[in-house]
Structure 1
Amino acid sequence: MRTTAGNRRALPRAAVIAAAVLVASPLTAPGAAPALAATSADGFASVSALGQNGTTGGAGGAVVTATTPAQFLDYISRSGPLVVQVKGTITLPTGSSDGMHDVSSDKTVIGLGTDARLVGGGLNIGLPVDDDVTSPPANAVHNVIIRNLSISGATDDLINVQMFSHHIWIDHNDFSNGDDGAVDIKRGSDFVTVSWNRFHDHDKTLLLGHDDDNGAQDIGRLRVTYHHNYFDGSDQRNPRVRFGESVHVYNNYYRDNSYGVASAMNAGVVLEGNYFYSVNNPGRVDFSGDLGRMVQRDNILVDCNHEIETRGSVVEPRTYYAYTLHRAAEVPTVVPAGAGVGRI
């Protein structure tokens, strides 16, 4: 049965709701192994804009290895390009920052092996909050890559991106047990890709746009790609979107969530090629605040209680970048096999 716009009636358990597959040519054979991890940013993080040609992180800078909190905090705060390798477990202090620690521009923060961990604190990518700033400042934090890290137990967010930060790539990480958001993106941030991460044992997962009254900073920005993420029992906000357009959510695997994607405050979301298993509300535009917009295609819903709500039209992501989809039926195999740490 095809999903229909605005239809919120409950579906029988064990029902399978699949939108028609409209991909013009085969992408991968059923059961095929996942593709090798990308070596460079894709999605919105790859777009040339705001004086930045894609996202390269610390490329061209020195390579350093952090094994202690003092080393780590020193390296991520330095000016200029730097590749910061994380070895083993680093426990971040709470102190006066509520456990949030600033990452400066032109940084790659990458875990070594399969056991690199940040615990007890989170990463902040962005200038201090200032409601009076309504356009990107010249010193906005930009060009940051976070990869191959397990981040857990923060007293606030695990990662927070704010204040017009742009060209951020968050890829192949494991996120769990934060007190607030896992990855929050807000206050005019732009050109971000969140890819191949596993989210589990967490409630409020992905916030995109923090407040219904923040249109002055957010309208025309918050362009984010979410692809090939494993929402493994993460309860809600996968993501919860305000204002952003285009927001591209594709080839993600949702398992046992209260809701998948919510679009509000006239946000524009393209939802395609995802697999939803046991998700109460896979996609919503009638949520809270003003209605959002959502275009859906090629998604598969299994044991879900509601259909995907759709409304209006959305600027297509292909306006900005090219991408290749897996078939939605492959997602439950491909995404758990490739998402998280130790897969790059």
Structure 2
Amino acid sequence: IDDASPGYASQNGGTTGGAGGTTTTLSSYAAFTSAVSGDKAKVVVVKGTITKTADQVRVGSNTSIIGTNSNAILENFGLLVKEASNVIIRSLGVRKVKTDNGNAIDILTVSNPFLHDHYKASLIGHSDNNKAEDTGHLHITQNNNYYYFLNVNDGINTRQGVQVLIESNAFVGSKEPLYSTDSGYAVANGNDFGDGSNSALAGTLKSAPYSYTLLCSVKVQSAVVGTAGQTLTF
């Protein structure tokens, strides 16, 4: 539970979250905001749904936040990881949050979530206005993720000079599964683009600095759909 791998989160010494710290199980907003604050190692276990109309709850460094099962949900508020490191968020539902963004995030793995019913579920490197802050950062791995939105046209849009390595993905019903805007680049291997095609500019990122095992694209749908998301139970 307290180890984030594979992906970029395994780099720079790895990501262990609150391993070795105190464990707190809770079900209220007040207890949650208190438990995730500060930089001491800690594991916060969310039991049930916590509802609070609020902005974001700031999460300190060296923190693991884990949901006990599919009923562990944060509703009407989100999480802010700012000027913090070594954070793991796992098997936790988050819904009805305000839209927001983050800058200069680095060394991140997003794995096994079910992201649905929103057509802007993952925006990385959004504007030239943040070029000075973002350049040299935004090293992000996304793997085994299930994105679902009815009648969406877009898949992956690489932009603003970004280099993306895209391997063994399956796209269903996307007219533009992979394309470029504003000089974004991609290397694509072994993907199933469905009825669409890859129109992205050819990139140069051909490998990642960590090891991983790929699923064949024909196996992706059966392996990911139904298993991604809140599947942890304890």
TM-score normalized by structure 2?
0.93
How far did residue 309 of structure 1 move? 1.6
Give the partner amino acid of 2:230: V
Structure 1 residues without counterparts, runs of 5 or longer: 1-36, 127-139, 158-183, 235-255
Structure with the greater alpha carbon radius of gyration: 1
How far did residue 100 of structure 1 move? 1.1
Q: Are 2:56 and 1:92 aligned? A: no
How far did residue 69 of structure 1 move? 0.4
Structure 2 residues without counterparts, runs of 5 or longer: none
How does 1:153-192 map onto structure 2 within 5 Å?
Answer: 153-157=96-100, 184=101, 186-192=102-108
How does 1:302-317 map onto structure 2 within 5 Å?
Answer: 302-304=194-196, 307-317=197-207
Q: Are 2:165 and 1:279 aligned? A: no
How far did residue 257 of structure 1 move? 2.8
Corresponding residue for residue 54 of structure 1 = 14
Corresponding residue for residue 82 of structure 1 = 42
Q: Are 2:60 and 1:104 aligned? A: yes
How far did residue 343 of structure 1 move? 4.0
Given that 1:41 and 1:56 are in contact with CA atoms closer than 8 Å, whether structure 2 keeps it comes out as no
- Partners of 1:62 and 1:258 in 2: how far apart? 45
More strand, by proportion: 1
How far did residue 326 of structure 1 move? 0.5
Deviations 1:159-209 (A, max 9, x none): xxxxxxxxxxxxxxxxxxxxxxxxx5x422111010100011112110112
Corresponding residue for residue 6 of structure 2 = 42
Q: 1:214 to 1:103 in 2, by over 3 A?
A: same
3-state SS of 1:294 partner? strand
Give the partner amino acid of 1:69: Y
How far did residue 232 of structure 1 move? 1.4
Deviations 1:256-305 (A, max 9, x none): 532111111110011110001100110111x2xx211111110012233x
How far did residue 39 of structure 1 move? 5.5
Give the partner amino acid of 2:92: L
Q: 1:336 to 1:83 in 2, by over 3 A?
A: same
How does 1:239-254 map onto structure 2 within 5 Å?
Answer: none
3-state SS of 1:105 partner? coil
How far did residue 93 of structure 1 move? 3.5
Which residue among 128, 146, 153 is the counterpart of 1:258? 153
- Partners of 1:278 and 1:38 in 2: how far apart? 36
How far did residue 38 of structure 1 move? 9.8
Given that 2:125 and 2:160 are in contact with CA atoms closer than 8 Å, whether structure 1 keeps it comes out as no
CA RMSD of aligned residues (A): 1.8
Which residue among 61, 66, 69 is the counterpart of 2:26? 66
- Partners of 2:118 and 2:106 in 1: how far apart? 24
3-state SS of 1:214 partner? helix
Corresponding residue for residue 70 of structure 2 = 114
Given that 1:100 and 1:156 are in contact with CA atoms closer than 8 Å, whether structure 2 keeps it comes out as no
Length, aligned pairs only: 233
Give the partner amino acid of 1:205: A
Deviations 1:293-344 (A, max 9, x none): 111110012233xx112323323343x1111000000001000132010246
Given that 2:111 and 2:143 are in contact with CA atoms closer than 8 Å, whether structure 1 keeps it comes out as yes
Given that 2:158 and 2:200 are in contact with CA atoms closer than 8 Å, whether structure 1 keeps it comes out as no
3-state SS of 2:30 partner? helix
Which residue among 56, 80, 90 is the counterpart of 1:147? 90
Q: Are 2:149 and 1:212 aligned? A: no
Give the partner amino acid of 1:91: T
- Partners of 2:70 and 2:146 in 1: how far apart? 17
Q: Are 2:219 and 1:330 aligned? A: yes
How far did residue 142 of structure 1 move? 0.3
Corresponding residue for residue 294 of structure 1 = 186
Identity %: 33
- Partners of 1:125 and 1:113 in 2: how far apart? 23
